[in-house]
């Protein structure tokens, strides 16, 4: 359980970090280290150089923009969990955060780390895909934005190229209607990796009709995906019709088998949790949540 030797550098600026990454194929970014260090300890990863970006101020913090909340890549998960802005404007993310790891790993783990690691069962990528967040990526010459849905390719696989650095995640804020959220997860033990997780957010107009709806499922296939729930729009759906819509949306779901759960189990639970998450979201919105700020 000792990592192989590596060089350690702590650049002062993002551009310096990008240069370092671009000039060495064997260099990897470290931030909170809560996933990378176990991989190093088990020697599943053996980078020659670690570029520590954790203290880059330009990558840190929670910022409100016109219609979005921008989370800097090295913002620690615990900071997001405690953030009043996130609770108010990104209630779905606030609901998902306590499911990430344990309190001590959330104290060190970062938002960008969870995104860049792209674990199919991870909560922050699931919320990012569900809400249609954008990932901001920097390289030595440029800064680009990419929709979360394109960013995640497969297990631990993203569109990040060598020399790129995830620098922020931009979550859209829903500003019309009464917004409600639901988050459901099943795992072997509390805080363990999700076999299946479901995240839902809906917005209702003053008559209780659904004007916006999003449902995402994680942990089932190679990456988190958004489920088509467009049939909810304009409706004031009963539990039964929510179930029919989720059933239709999840019928073709690609699912993986592993020693914890079969693909069949995952597909079945995806339907159940998807329905529960949406039920929770509607109940939450109907109980009179105000529009998000």
Partner 1 sequence: MKVRLNVNRQLREADIEPRKTLLDTLREDFLLVGCHAGCEHGVCGACTVLIDGEPSRSCLMFAVQADGYEITTIEGLSPAPGELSIVQDAFCETHGLQCGFCTPGMILTAHALLEGNEAPTREDIVEAISGNICRCTGYGQIVEAIEHAADRLRKTNVPRKTGGAAQGEAAQPDGPRGGRS
Binding site for partner 1 (CB under 8 A): 1-8, 30, 33-34, 37-38, 40-42, 50, 52, 54-55, 57, 60-61, 74, 76, 78-79, 82-84, 98, 101-105, 107-108, 190-191
Which of residues 60 and 226 has its CB atom nearest to partner 1 in the complex?
60
Shortest CB 59 distance to partner 1, Å: 10
Shortest CB 119 distance to partner 1, Å: 14
Distance of alpha carbon 149 from alpha carbon 139, whole angstroms:
20
Shortest CB 24 distance to partner 1, Å: 15
Shortest CB 23 distance to partner 1, Å: 18
Shortest CB 98 distance to partner 1, Å: 8
Report whether 22 contacts 163 (CB < 8 A): yes
Which of residues 109 and 274 has its CB atom nearest to partner 1 in the complex?
109
Report whether 47 contacts 28 (CB < 8 A): yes
- CA 183 to chain CA centroid, Å, is 12
Shortest CB 28 distance to partner 1, Å: 13
Report whether 270 contacts 253 (CB < 8 A): yes
Which of residues 33 and 218 has its CB atom nearest to partner 1 in the complex?
33
Which of residues 84 and 142 has its CB atom nearest to partner 1 in the complex?
84
CA-closest candidate to residue 81, choices 57, 55, 59, 111: 111
Token output for 282: 């509607």
Shortest CB 64 distance to partner 1, Å: 14
- CA 240 to chain CA centroid, Å, is 29
Give the E-state strand segments of the chain in sequence order: 7-9, 27-30, 49-52, 62-65, 68-72, 134-139, 142-147, 152-154, 157-158, 165-172, 178-187, 194-204, 210-218, 225-227
CA-closest candidate to residue 136, choices 159, 118, 117, 155: 159
- Alpha-helix residue ranges (DSSP H) falling in 101-232: 103-108, 111-117, 123-131, 148-151
Which of residues 50 and 203 has its CB atom nearest to partner 1 in the complex?
50
Which of residues 44 and 240 has its CB atom nearest to partner 1 in the complex?
44
Which of residues 53 and 118 has its CB atom nearest to partner 1 in the complex?
53
Report whether 136 contacts 170 (CB < 8 A): yes
**DSSP string covering 250-266:** HTT------SS--HHHH
Distance of alpha carbon 86 from alpha carbon 93, whole angstroms:
7
Which of residues 33 and 125 has its CB atom nearest to partner 1 in the complex?
33
Shortest CB 254 distance to partner 1, Å: 29
């Amino acid at each position: 359980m000792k990592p192989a030797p590596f060089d350690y550098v702590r650049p002062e600026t993002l551009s310096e970090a990008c240069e370092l990454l671009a000039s060495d194929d064997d260099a990897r970014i470290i931030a909170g280290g809560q996933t990378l260090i176990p991989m190093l300890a088990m020697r599943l990863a053996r980078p020659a150089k670690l570029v520590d970006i954790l203290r880059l101020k330009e990558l840190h913090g929670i910022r409100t923009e016109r219609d979005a909340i921008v989370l800097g890549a090295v913002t620690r998960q615990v900071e997001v969990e405690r953030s009043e802005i996130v609770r108010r404007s990104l209630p779905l993310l606030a609901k998902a955060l306590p499911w990430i790891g344990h309190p001590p790993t959330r104290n060190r783990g970062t938002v960008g780390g969870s995104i860049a690691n792209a674990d199919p069962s991870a909560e922050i990528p699931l919320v990012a895909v569900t809400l249609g967040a954008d990932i901001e990526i920097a390289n030595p010459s440029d800064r680009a934005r990419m929709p979360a849905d394109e960013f995640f390719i497969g297990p631990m696989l993203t569109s990040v190229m060598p020399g790129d650095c995830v620098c922020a995640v931009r979550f859209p804020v829903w500003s019309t209607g009464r917004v409600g959220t639901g988050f459901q997860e099943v795992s072997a033990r509390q805080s363990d990796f999700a076999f299946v997780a479901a995240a839902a957010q809906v917005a209702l107009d003053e008559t209780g009709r659904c004007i916006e709806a999003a449902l995402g499922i994680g942990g089932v296939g190679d990456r988190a995906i958004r489920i088509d729930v467009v049939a909810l729009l304009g409706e004031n759906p009963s539990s039964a019709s929510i179930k029919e819509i989720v059933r239709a949306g999840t019928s073709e779901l690609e699912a993986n088998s592993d020693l914890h759960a079969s693909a069949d189990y995952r597909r079945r639970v995806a339907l159940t949790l998807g329905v529960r998450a949406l039920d929770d979201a509607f109940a939450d919105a109907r109980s009179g949540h105000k529009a998000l700020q």
